[in-house]
Amino acid sequence: MTIFSDPRSLEQALERAGHIVTSELATACVLAHRLGKPLLCEGVPGVGKTSLARALARASGGPLIRLQCHDGLESSQALYDWDFAKQILHVRTIEAASTVAGEPIDALRLDDELHDRAFLLARPILQAIEDSQGLGSDDPRPVLLIDEVDRAGDEFDALLLEALADWSISIPELGTISTETPPLVILTSNRTRDLHDALRRRCLYHWFEQPDAAAESRILSLHVPQAESSLREAVIDAANRLRRVDLIKPPGTAETIDWLRALHSLGLEELDEPSAAATLSAVLKEADDLDPAGSALRSLGGGSR
């Protein structure tokens, strides 16, 4: 029996690992595990998409393998690459041995040696596939986090399809490396571009909403248990004020956790205008958000709400 036996078991295991999920998200994760499908997680920044993968790895005991996507991401960074420095060293060794022995170098043999598995660098996707080889259905699987996939170009979507569809990578010099038991794959996206339909169809899907006040209170209580409940509720109230303002980057749950930690670390027991102004660096990430945020937080700790 594993934590993926049923959604409730997974929900409880993730909470023990420091991450609170809805029953719908727990069900999606269980299905991703059982069906061998990636889970595509979309939503605004700061609502727990990336931390879900970390928590799944902690809860299951599997290794976390992360691929951070960015513009210009190449296959050699995501799939595999050849260890050029190691290959050059091998060539120099063969040349030296050939000189000492007075024998010519066998070029075909050398080429085969240079493209042996020993010279292959497994990047995150290949690493996850290889680490999954030979695992049983109940063994902890690698958790492959493909983070912010929308930051990579359209061509990266196509690159992912072979690996995610067949759990295999074709390497011309070595053949195909595959696994029967797939890793648990979490893709995250902030929707800065549309992902290819073929990639979406390959995945299960979950949209991350901003948690309501009750759910956010549970999350903050889990992450900052030392803080008083009154301070926790005040931070949530203030964060919701900011979310109602037209900010460039409104605070997500990650920012409310940071805000509560900042206030608690300073020994503050209440959130008022001065303490809010002093700790906004934990919440806001854009200079243009400072003025509207300051207006929204007026009368904190003292006027009507």
pLDDT of residue 63: 98
3-state class (DSSP) for residue 185: strand
Quick: pLDDT tens for 98-157.
888 888 888 888 888 899 999 999 999 999 999 999 999 889 999 999 999 999 988 999
Q: In percent, how much of the chain has pLDDT > 90?
A: 84
pLDDT band at 303 (very low <50, low <70, confident <90, very high): very low
- pLDDT by residue (tens digit) across 39-50? 999 998 889 999
Given a cut of 90, is residue 279 above it in pLDDT? yes
Give the Cα separation of 224 and 4 in Å (integer): 27
Q: Max Cα separation, the chain?
A: 92
Q: In 3-state terms, what secondary structure has residue 83?
A: coil
**Percent of the chain topping pLDDT 70:** 98
Dist CA 124 CA 77 (whole Å):
8
Taking all residues of the chain, what is their mean pLDDT, rounded to a whole number? 93
pLDDT digits 0-9 by tens, 160-184 = 988 888 899 999 999 999 999 999 9
Count of Cβ atoms closer than 10 Å to residue 217 Cβ = 17
Listing DSSP states for 95-147 in one string gives: HHHHHHHT----HHHHHHHHTSGGGEEE-HHHHHHHHHTT--TTSPPPEEEEE
Q: What is the pLDDT of residues 58-103, one digit of tens each?
A: 999 999 999 999 999 999 999 999 999 999 999 999 888 888 888 8
Cα(208)–Cα(195) distance, rounded to whole angstroms? 17
Is-contact 80 124, C-beta < 8 A? no
Q: What is the pLDDT of residue 304?
A: 38
In this prediction, residue 302 carries a pLDDT of: 53
pLDDT at 20 over 70: yes
pLDDT at 13 over 70: yes
Predicted local distance difference test score (pLDDT) of residue 287: 95
What is the secondary structure of 188-222 as a DSSP string? EE--SSPPPHHHHHHSEEEEEPPP-HHHHHHHHHH
pLDDT at 98: 83
pLDDT at 36 over 80: yes
Q: In the predicted model, is pLDDT for residue 237 greater than 80?
A: yes
- Summarize the confidence of residues 14-18 as an average pLDDT: 96
Helix ranges (DSSP H) in the chain: 7-16, 23-35, 49-60, 75-78, 84-101, 107-114, 124-132, 154-166, 197-202, 213-223, 229-243, 253-265, 273-279, 290-296
The pTM of this model reads 0.88
**Residue 301 confidence (pLDDT):** 64
Tell me the average pLDDT across 196-225: 95
